[in-house]
Amino acid sequence: MRRFGPRLVATSGLALLVLCGAAVIQASPAQAVTTKTVTVQVVPHLGGVHFSIDGVAGVTDDNGQATIEDPQLNNVGQRLVLPQQVISPTVRVTMDRFNNNPDHGAFTRALLVELDVEHLVGVRFLTPKGETFAGSKVTSATFRDSLGRAIVWTGPQLITPNWVMATRPVRVSNGIKGSVITYALQSVMIKGSSVVNQGQQRFTATDSLIWDIPVALFSLTITGNDLLSGKPIGKNFGLTYPDQSTIVRPLGPGHTTTVHNLPPGDYQVKVTGGLVAPKSTVHLSRSDSTTSVVITKQDFIKLLAVAVFVLGVLVGIGFLGRRLRRKHVRATAGNGADASAH
């Protein structure tokens, strides 16, 4: 049997190590090529959008793109999880739909994810003088968007910002873009009346995060007058709004006062402080004034005296008329008797 010396064994071991190293070096590029990845592109191109595929998380860069590893590559869209999320204090996104890009390699996939984008928007109501009118005094505000939907805000929605759809993805000739949603103001209701013209004011959430809404509000000056003397009189006034709600307030100096920021419509006015307070109706379509009469005790006595006097005159005229008719009848009867005797 042939024996191998120590030198030959060492040389053979060294050669084996070299061969193994070469195999490792040759295998490394092949392993890098077989890494499987998925690239997600969101439209619009927004950064900071979080998603995951089978628990592997990703977040888009400033170009709206992110690439993560995925060992499967099959049915990537169905395994994609992109929840509704706030990506900045005033921007929220929701996945609308996704599309697989067929132009990909053997070890890559590409997803185009279309997003609905919402902005946080508030409203501010302005009087004709440019002053802020409290949203808490507004009953409702109704908008109709360019998608045909009616949006009604009431209560806290009128004094705090609301999420409003800013853009929605649409297909165009060269791909997909975010279409801006427009909102047309239909009505702003205050005390049963609308204080805006339907459809004349339009807004978008991409232009402004505060929608300034000018509203038509007027002033009404109320004065109390004595029925007969015409002198100013009255203690309080009652004002009934178009929605039939009523306020009762004291009159100011000179038995008059002005109520500001009233919506257009029909009002009922009554001034108290006398024996009888008749109601009067005012149609308010601009700033106006009205005089409400008050019947005092003295007026009532005078009117009663006049009524008694008129009644007495009528009774006297009736009594006199009856006497004249009787006299006429007797005279006619006497003439007829004389004619018969002849």
In order of 57, 104, 258, the CA distances from 192 in angstroms are 52, 61, 20
Q: Tell me, what amino acid is at 159? A: I
Token duo for residue 180: 């801006």
Contacting residues for 268 by C-beta, under 8 A, at least 6 apart: 238, 239, 240, 279, 280, 281, 282
Question: Of 169 and 15, which is predicted with more confidence?
Answer: 169
In DSSP terms, 240 is beta-bridged to 246, 268
- Three-state DSSP class for 185? strand
The confidence score (pLDDT) of residue 13 equals: 46
Q: 50-53 and 80-81 as β-strands: parallel, antiparallel, unpaired?
A: antiparallel
The confidence score (pLDDT) of residue 268 equals: 96
Q: Give 155's DSSP letter.
A: G
The confidence score (pLDDT) of residue 338 equals: 59
pLDDT at 205 over 50: yes
Average pLDDT over residues 123-134: 96
The confidence score (pLDDT) of residue 150 equals: 96
Residues 265, 195, 220: CA angle, nearest 5 degrees: 50
Find the distance separating the first CA and the last CA of the chain, reported in whole Å. 200
The confidence score (pLDDT) of residue 339 equals: 56
Token duo for residue 170: 């649409």
What pLDDT digit, counting tens, does each position of 135-159 carry?
999 999 999 999 999 999 999 999 9
pLDDT at 330 over 90: no
What pLDDT digit, counting tens, does each position of 89-122 carry?
999 999 999 998 888 888 999 999 999 999 999 9
Secondary structure element (H or E) that encloses residue 288, with its range: strand 288-294
Residue 134 — φ and ψ, nearest 5°?
-60, 130
Report the length, in residues, of the chain.
342
pLDDT at 12 over 80: no
What pLDDT digit, counting tens, does each position of 208-241 carry?
999 999 999 999 999 998 877 778 888 999 999 9
**Full-model pTM:** 0.74
In order of 62, 65, 126, 214, 219, the CA distances from 129 in angstroms are 44, 49, 8, 10, 12
Instruction: Give the integer Cα–Cα distance in Å for 305 and 331.
Output: 39
Token duo for residue 220: 């009404």
Token duo for residue 88: 């900045």
Average pLDDT over residues 187-216: 96
pLDDT at 319 over 80: no
pLDDT at 33 over 90: no
Statement: 218-294 belongs to CATH 3.90.226.10: no
Q: What is the mean pLDDT of the chain?
A: 85
Q: Yes or no: say if 224 and 136 are a contact pair by the CB < 8 Å rule.
A: no
The confidence score (pLDDT) of residue 30 equals: 44
Of 120-124, 277-281, 298-302, which range is least confident?
Answer: 298-302
